Amino acid sequence: MQENKKIEYDIDGDMVSLEELIDTYKSFHDDTKDEKKALKSRKNEKALKPYQAELIKLQQHIEATNQKMIILFEGRDAAGKGGTIRRVTRYMDEKHYRVVALGKPTKEQQSQWFFQKYIQHFPTGGEIVLFDRSWYNRAMVESVFDFCTKKEHDDFMKGVKGFEKDLTRQGTVLIKLYYSVTKAEQAKRFDRRKTDPLRQWKLSEIDLQAQERWDDFTNTKYDMIKQTHSHYAPWTVIRSNNKHDARLESLKVILNTINYEHRDETLDYTLDSDVVISGAREIEIMDAQRTSNGKFIG
């Protein structure tokens, strides 16, 4: 049997095999893709900077007027909450903001009034507090995974609107953001976490069940927004499949919440209606997607 002869090509005096040429092309192609991705990322980060500069002015205004602001970041796992928080706070004065991400409640906290563990982290005058997940854990994760009883969940849903009404009545600015990602995009982000050693720490046991419990989370999201959206503490839903768009629009939502001095009127603060949806509108959209048996399409 005749052996296959290895074909080589003369490239500037060097004999190179076809396999080596293919490998070189693949390497060059991958490097080019990485370079384009890095350039796009730098361009996106640059586009955020004028609005991040405005956030510094807003923060200074809150400090000067002794106001208090709370921003809630809610949504499914891998919806982009953490990345958005980092862009919001990147250039802020660390002395006048805090990011709060509470873990599993202690036995002592379990015996307390539910809101008590959150209240101790509330802002003082001149401060902004950002909650990476909040008291709405009880309405979402705790409810879906039975980490709380039905009575505990029902008590929360009955009491939260009054709690937030009192909070805002006494002068705290409350912004509630819900990040909405599609099932396919969430799966893609989870896959990346599994293979990227820099992101594996983000993957939790609950994350691994999030896709299986997708419909449960959808139903819970619907009930939560429908029952807790109000004129004094409205929900703003951010479509977050595109991370950059979600981050940019989040900055605009926060900047549009209060008037502050020296606002740069040359910037466009108009919200993208394809990305930013009011809680009331989101319920209308979900109602239209609801089938006769109560399930949601998509």
Rounded to the nearest integer, the mean pLDDT of the chain is: 90
pLDDT at residue 290, rounded to an integer: 82
Which structural domain, as residue segments, surrounds residue 263?
16-289
In this structure, are residues 37 and 30 in contact, taking their beta carbons and an 8 Å threshold?
Answer: no
68 has pLDDT over 70 = yes
Rg (CA), the chain: 24
Record the pTM: 0.85
The strands making up 68-75's β-sheet, listed across from edge to edge, are 97-100, 127-132, 68-75, 172-180, 235-239, 276-278
Tokens representing residue 212 in the block: 């299986």
pLDDT tens figures, 190-234? 888 877 776 766 667 777 788 899 999 999 999 999 999 999 999
Mean pLDDT of 259-265: 96
Residue 159 identity (one-letter amino acid): G
Query: How does residue 168 score in pLDDT terms, banded at 50, 70 and 90?
Result: very high
Residue 179 identity (one-letter amino acid): Y
In this structure, are residues 220 and 140 in contact, taking their beta carbons and an 8 Å threshold?
Answer: yes
pLDDT at residue 241, rounded to an integer: 97
Q: Is residue 183 part of a domain?
A: yes
Half-sphere exposure for 87 (CA within 13 Å, toward CB):
26
pLDDT at residue 19, rounded to an integer: 77
Residues comprising the chain, all counted: 298
CA distances in angstroms from 2 to 7, 43, 47, 233, 243, listed in the order given: 15, 56, 62, 79, 56
Q: Which residue has the higher pLDDT, 152 or 30?
A: 152
Query: How does residue 17 score in pLDDT terms, banded at 50, 70 and 90?
Result: confident
pLDDT tens figures, 265-284? 999 999 999 999 999 999 99
pLDDT at residue 207, rounded to an integer: 73
- Greatest extent of the chain over all pairs of C-alpha atoms, in Å: 90
Sign of the dihedral through C-alpha 216, 218, 224, 227: negative
Q: Among 278, 274, 272, which Cα is nearest to 234's?
A: 278
Mean pLDDT of 98-121: 94
Q: Is residue 241 part of a domain?
A: yes
Numbers of helices and strands, H then E, in the chain: 11, 8
**φ, ψ for residue 163 (rounded to 5)?**
-60, -45
Q: Is residue 9 part of a domain?
A: no
Nearest-angstrom CA–CA distance, 239 and 192: 20
pLDDT at residue 1, rounded to an integer: 45
Q: Is residue 68 part of a domain?
A: yes
pLDDT tens figures, 121-166? 999 999 999 999 999 999 999 999 999 999 999 999 999 999 999 9
Q: Among 223, 84, 90, 215, which Cα is nearest to 150's?
A: 223
Nearest-angstrom CA–CA distance, 221 and 297: 14
Kindly write down the DSSP assignment for every residue of 215-251, as one continuous string. HHHHHHHHHHHHHH--SSS-EEEEE-SSHHHHHHHHH
Q: Is residue 239 part of a domain?
A: yes
Strand positions, DSSP E, 61-111: 68-75, 97-100
- In this structure, the number of other CB atoms found within 10 A of the CB of residue 18 comes to 11
Give the CATH number of the domain where residue 107 resides: 3.40.50.300
How many domains does one find in the chain? 1
Contacts (Cβ under 8 Å, ≥6 apart) of 51:
248, 251, 252, 255, 267
CA distances in angstroms from 295 to 141, 154, 169, 214, 238, listed in the order given: 19, 21, 37, 11, 22
